[in-house]
Amino acid sequence: MHKFLIVGLGNIGSEYAHTRHNIGFDVVSAFVLKHGGLFKNDRLADVATVTWKGKQFICIKPTTYMNLSGKAFKYWMDKEKLEPNQTLTVVDDLALPLSKMRLRGSGSDAGHNGLKDIQLMLGTDVYPKLRFGIGNQFPKGGQIDFVLGKWLASEQPVIQQKIDKSIEVIESFAAIGLDRTMTVCNALNFEI
């Protein structure tokens, strides 16, 4: 059975729930819910295992806080005996508008502390990432409040649409591979 590690980045704690920075948690939670899985607290992460079309997905939401995401990522990748190309990390991205998502097989951390720590632990930036655009509509100096803020009511419909599409991207990544999934995913444009 083909196995994949799906990593949603976010921060634990109710004050961070459903914030822009926690979209990785929300996407992975929605994926697990769709496939009838349940999270349980395990080593360094909340973990759920689901199967779909003969493929197994170990889904984690690190409980290490964002800045130490690499610790959980590396532990579960090693435990499941997986290679970086058998993982997919879902992460918020300020550099992408809300209307976009971007799937890549490699790429810098772009200043994201969660990705920075994963890259440090892996010793490479060559691992697949699904970047969920959150836009950057904040005044100078307001980045932290924006990232840790909740979605606006007007953004909710597009966020739900993008979460649903992200689930399809995860399935497609496992079914037809990174390159073919990138072609479809990176061309998507979500109406706001």
How far, in Å, CA of 132 to CA of 135, rounded?
Answer: 9
Kindly state whether residue 190 falls inside one of the protein's structural domains.
no
pTM metric for this prediction:
0.97
Assess if residue 192 is contained within a domain.
no
The answer to whether residue 143 sits within a structural domain is yes
pLDDT at 179 (0 to 100): 97
Domain encompassing residue 79:
2-185
Domain annotation covers residue 120: yes
Cα angle value 114/187/4 (rounded, 5°):
45
Which residues in 96-108 are b (16+ Cβ under 10 Å) and which e?
A: bebebbbbbeeee
Residue 29 lies in a domain: yes
Question: Domain for residue 117, yes or no?
Answer: yes
CATH of the domain at 42: 3.40.50.1470
Predicted pLDDT at 190: 96
Per DSSP, the three-state class of 132 is strand
Contact 134, 94 (CB under 8 A): yes
Q: 41: which residues sit within 8 A by CB, 6+ positions away?
A: 47, 63
Which residues are the active-site residues?
21
Q: Beta-carbon neighbour count of residue 17 at 10 Å? A: 13
Number of domains in the chain: 1
pLDDT tens digits in sequence order for the chain, 192 residues long: 799 999 999 999 999 999 999 999 999 999 999 999 999 999 999 999 999 999 999 999 999 989 999 999 999 999 999 999 999 999 999 999 999 999 999 999 999 999 999 999 999 999 999 999 999 988 888 999 999 999 999 999 999 999 999 999 999 999 999 999 999 999 999 987
The confidence score (pLDDT) of residue 1 equals 75
Mark 46-78 as b/e (b = at least 16 C-beta within 10 Å). bbbbbebeeeebbbbbbbbbbebbbbbbbbbbe
Letter for the amino acid at 55? K
Flag whether 127 is in a domain.
yes
Query: For residue 33, is it within any domain?
Result: yes
